[in-house]
Structures are given as structure tokens and as C-alpha cells.
Chain A
Amino acid sequence: MPKGIYGKINFYLIAFFILLILFGINTGETSAVWEKAVSLCLSCMGIG
């Protein structure tokens, strides 16, 4: 595949993933991640 095509794909992918991040932040996913991360994850520890 020509290099120019990769450049365009990269550009669109970066824009797409930034949009996903912004959409996630806007819908409050960061709070959901925070709530999970600050509570003791018994599954991770192999307890619950």
C-alpha cells in the first residue's frame, strides 16, 4: 500500500479515536472508570 494511504488512514484513525474519547468523557465514562478504580477490586485480587 502506498505511504500516502497510510498517512490518511492514520489521520482518520486518530480523529476517530479522539472522538471516542471525547464521547466517552461526555457521557461520564471517566466517572465510571474512577468509581471502579477507587474501590477494592476483589476479582482482580482473586477473592471475589
Chain B
Amino acid sequence: MLVFRRWIQIAATLLSNAFLLFPLTRNLYQGRLKSICVPGLNCYSCPAATGACPLGAMQSLFANIRPSIQAGRIHIGLYVIGFLGLIGTLIGRMPCGWLCPFGFFQELVFKIPSRKYEIPRILTAGKYVFLGLFVIILPLFVVDEFGYGQTWFCKYVCAAGTLEAGIPMSGLQPQLRHLWGWLFFNKVLILLILLVLMVFIRRPFCRMICPLGAIYSLFNRLSIFKMVYHPDKCVHCQQCYKNCPMGVRFYEGANQPDCIRCLKCMQESCKYGAISFEIAGIQLEMPRHKEEHPKVMSDI
């Protein structure tokens, strides 16, 4: 299953970035596929991108609400909100663990051998601040004299944009380098800090910053796909926590906001069958060897 997840992550990354003619065209893909959002964080200004980043699209629609309404168009972000809500209702935060290219990238960087650290739990609330402030409030309400807002998260924070678009496009179109200023170097600094953190901390961007993950996490408890915890089988060995790419303590409850449903805990960590999943209320469990609960064994 874990190898299968890796292949899905590779396939999702390649499909989201399938425009391989960009070294020849030196420009973005211009096809109609770009009107469709991808489920993960993948900058649409990445030269290979074949879909639209839902977060960028949402901010863009929010930032242009006033001019579009004045022009008689009702472009208020319903398409993107509906898209994210539908995915969230079906599988919760699963796209973060299976389909997000930037999440996949962080997992690969974390494999670099080093001492690993944990972040204070309070910092995981940061993603909701970024969602509320940088994706919703600021693009909606801070506007210029013509009513146009800005894509605040993309412009000031998003490290995926710097990595996937800023640096490669500056290589493809050298004239862009003349436009580098404090904003660009600020974003490069954010990216560098995050790259260092990725070596030592599990998925720091997903856990502390990503507004897309924050949106999906709101659906974790009510999605059709759900993780299930069996407290009677749990021995609190904490193996699920030690192996979790998001540092989730599964024994504190299933479907926590940071659970990305990668199933690593179920497949690789828990030997006692304390973790399973259900789809639309039908409980499923992947076949694997289960050890007896030590309490049960001692009773025999």
C-alpha cells in the first residue's frame, strides 16, 4: 500500500506538471485543461503545470469580485469552493497525502538523514490564520481605487510558487530577473527557511502554513472516507505517532485535522489492528498480519 501511495504521488505530480514542451516554448501551457483545478498545491505559473492551483484561483476570484460584479459577472469563487468542498466531503484531507506535489516534495526532503524534531502543537493552528487572513480577508477587503485586490498568499507567502514558478520561469525568461526585488528575495528566503525545516521537521509547510490543507482538514470528521480507531486494541505504543508524516497522535482520536489519510499508521505502524478505515460507514481493513493484544495474551 505504501509503495502504491508513492506511485500515486509520482503520477499525480507528473499529471499536474505534464507540459513537457516548456523548454521549447519557454512559456506556460495555454490549453483548456488549465480551467480545471488540481486537488493539490501546484502553482499554475509553473512552466510544466497543466491545471489551475485551487488556492491561487480562489484568491484571484476573491480579489476581483468588485470589478467582476460591476461588469455584470457573478464570479465569486463558487466553482473553486464547490470543487474543494466536494473533494473534502468525499475524502477529507486525503489529497495532501496522495496527490499534492508539494507535500510529496516535503516527504522526500525529510528523508535526508538528520536529527528530527517536533513542533509545538499550537503552531499547527497557523494554517487557519493564513487561510482566514491571506486567502479570504485580505484579498476580499484590501482593494485599490479600482476595486482590485491582491492574491496575498501567493504574493507574500507561497513557497510552492517560488519553487515551481519563480525560479524556473526566471531561468526560462531571463528578462524577468530584472524585475527581482525585495519581494522576490523575501519569498526566496521563506523557501530557504522552509527547505531547512523540511529536513528536520515532518511536513512543516502542510502543518503550519498551507491554507489548502486547512480547508480540507475542516472536512476530516465528516467526510465519506474516515479513519477508525479501535481503543480496545490499542496498546499506546505510539508507533503510529512516530511513523506519521504529519505527527498525528492517532491514539488521541481518529480523523484529527492534520490526518492526511496516508494509511502509514494502519499499514506500517500498528501491529494490533487498532486502526482501520471506513467508506460511507462500511468498515474496511487492509489484510495484514496482526499481533495479539498483549493484555489478551497475558490473560491466556
Interface residues of A (CB under 8 A from B): 3, 6-7, 9-10, 13-14, 16-25, 27-34, 36-48
> Are A33 and B74 in contact (CB-based, < 8 A)?
no
Q: Indicate whether A44 sits within 8 Å of B176 (C-beta atoms), given known contacts A19-B82, A24-B79, A38-B28.
A: no
A30 and chain B: residue at smallest CB distance: B35
Bound Cα distance from A41 to B158, whole angstroms: 12
CB distance from B36 to the nearest CB of A (A): 8
The answer to whether the Cβ of B106 comes within 8 Å of any Cβ in the partner chain is no
Q: Indicate whether A46 sits within 8 Å of B166 (C-beta atoms), given known contacts A9-B222, A17-B89, A34-B34.
A: yes
Q: Indicate whether A25 sits within 8 Å of B79 (C-beta atoms), given known contacts A3-B281, A47-B176.
A: yes
Q: Indicate whether A32 sits within 8 Å of B85 (C-beta atoms), given known contacts A24-B80, A43-B155, A46-B188.
A: no
Complex interface residues of chain B between 204 and 243 (CB less than 8 A to chain A): 222-224
A13 and chain B: residue at smallest CB distance: B89
The answer to whether the Cβ of B94 comes within 8 Å of any Cβ in the partner chain is no
> Are B161 and A30 in contact (CB-based, < 8 A)?
no
A interface majority secondary structure: helix
> Are B83 and A41 in contact (CB-based, < 8 A)?
no
Interface size on B, residues (CB 8 A): 61
Q: Indicate whether A17 sits within 8 Å of B45 (C-beta atoms), given known contacts A25-B79, A44-B161, A44-B166.
A: no
The answer to whether the Cβ of B150 comes within 8 Å of any Cβ in the partner chain is yes
Given contacts A40-B45, A47-B180, 8 further A-B contacts (CB under 8 A): A18-B86, A30-B79, A33-B80, A38-B30, A45-B165, A45-B166, A45-B170, A46-B183
> Are A33 and B166 in contact (CB-based, < 8 A)?
no
The answer to whether the Cβ of B90 comes within 8 Å of any Cβ in the partner chain is yes
CB distance from A27 to the nearest CB of B (A): 5
The answer to whether the Cβ of B6 comes within 8 Å of any Cβ in the partner chain is no
